[in-house]
Amino acid sequence: MALTSEPLTSITLTPRTGAEVKISREALLSGSHSQALRALLVARGVLVVRDLHLTDAEQRGFARTMGDLRLGTVKKEGDEGLQKVTLDETENPDYARFFFGSQLWHMDGTYEEVPPFATILTPRVLSNTGGDTEFTNNYAAYEDLPDSEKPFLDTLLVAHSMQAALFPAKPDCSPEEFALWCGYPVRRHPLVWRHKSGRKSLVLSTSASHIIGMHPTESRDLLNRLMAHATAPQYIYRHKWRMGDMLMWDNTGTMHRVLPFDARSGRRLHRFTLNGEEPVTATL
């Protein structure tokens, strides 16, 4: 195993978001580039490596070199940390029924005190139509806001809920489903994340229900305006999946959504998640 790391070779995918890293399987899996990859991930929001064709064990091993792997409940040997992102309930009985919500712009785990740091996906079954995944850059979106607005925005606290995230994606839900979503905790986060690096990003997601202490109409207008700003074309990287890809995103500084696809396609991606390393810090 190499003990020193060569500089990483990468190309930017759009001016504000995403980088494609050119690296061999061997170099990637050795872990010797993990610090450089983490720095690039946070700088670009999304990293893509093509033509890797990783097994679950290799994907997990790589995830472990990048941070603190979330293990979840292990049902079967060999499944540690693996989550299957699919609408097929036989493949993922616990979570398949929540993934329809992924079609709206979101960050993962905003119901948690410390949202996940990063997620690593590889495709296993793709849909012939649709199913691209889009990403934003919530650091860039914050940095581009007028300086006159930032001091006020820095003071705001936002309530995030599962129900706010999922109801707009399924307004014809059953009362039982709605009750299930409402059973999840409502979490308050600052609107602006001041990261331990010193940089700031917007904590925006469809899960943002309302701004604490603000009139509901004003709060909805502001959240809609910020969402429109953060999802403007100049911040978006759209990933067209190819078998063999590995894609990783910094969940603390981006949003993502999947574009509509054929629900009968069996679309399935294998996912490993890295635990968060810092709470969303108040800027007060």
127 binds, among ligand OGA, Mn ion, none (CB under 5 to 8 A by kind): none
133 binds, among ligand OGA, Mn ion, none (CB under 5 to 8 A by kind): ligand OGA
Q: How far is CA 46 from CA 2, 93, 124, 175, 212, in A?
A: 25, 28, 19, 37, 31
Binding-site member from 13, 41, 47, 85 for ligand OGA (CB under 6 A)? 85
Q: How far is the CB of 51 from ligand OGA (least distance, A)?
A: 19
Chain centre to alpha carbon of residue 52? 21
Count other C-beta atoms under 10 Å from residue 235's C-beta: 24
70 binds, among Mn ion, ligand OGA, none (CB under 5 to 8 A by kind): none
Q: Based on the shown chain and the rule CB under 6 A, indicate whether residue 133 belongs to the binding site for ligand OGA.
A: yes
Interaction with ligand OGA in 199-258: which residues (CB under 6 A)? 256, 258
Q: Which residues of 86-114 are buried (b: 16+ CB within 10 A; e: fewer)?
A: bbbeeebeeebebbebbbbbbbbbbbbee
Number of residues that bind Mn ion (CB under 5 A): 2
Of the candidates 237, 235, 161, the one whose C-alpha atom is nearest the C-alpha of residue 201 is: 235
Q: Write out the two tokens for 105.
A: 């712009």
Residues 131, 153: Cα–Cα separation, whole Å: 34
Q: Based on the shown chain and the rule CB under 6 A, indicate whether residue 102 belongs to the binding site for ligand OGA.
A: yes
Q: Based on the shown chain and the rule CB under 6 A, indicate whether residue 46 belongs to the binding site for ligand OGA.
A: no
Q: How far is the CB of 249 from ligand OGA (least distance, A)?
A: 9
Q: How far is the CB of 81 from ligand OGA (least distance, A)?
A: 13
Nearer to ligand OGA, 10 or 92 (CB): 92
Instruction: Return the beta strands (E) in the chain as ranges.
Output: 9-12, 19-22, 46-49, 83-86, 118-125, 133-135, 157-160, 187-190, 192-194, 200-202, 208-211, 237-239, 246-250, 256-258, 268-274
Binding-site member from 269, 272, 276, 280 for ligand OGA (CB under 6 A)? 269
Cβ 248 vs Cβ 47: under 8 Å: yes
Number of residues that bind ligand OGA (CB under 6 A): 8
φ/ψ of 225, rounded to 5, equals -65, -45
Cβ 40 vs Cβ 47: under 8 Å: yes
Q: Which residue type sits at 219?
A: S
Binding-site member from 23, 62, 108, 202 for ligand OGA (CB under 6 A)? 108
Q: How far is the CB of 247 from ligand OGA (least distance, A)?
A: 9
| Choices 104-112, 129-137, 226-234, 243-251; region in contact with Mn ion by CB under 5 A | 104-112
Nearer to ligand OGA, 109 or 190 (CB): 109
Nearer to Mn ion, 126 or 255 (CB): 255
Binding-site member from 20, 108, 245, 250 for Mn ion (CB under 5 A)? 108
Residues that bind Mn ion (CB under 5 A): 102, 108
Residues that bind ligand OGA (CB under 6 A): 85, 102, 108, 133, 256, 258, 269, 271
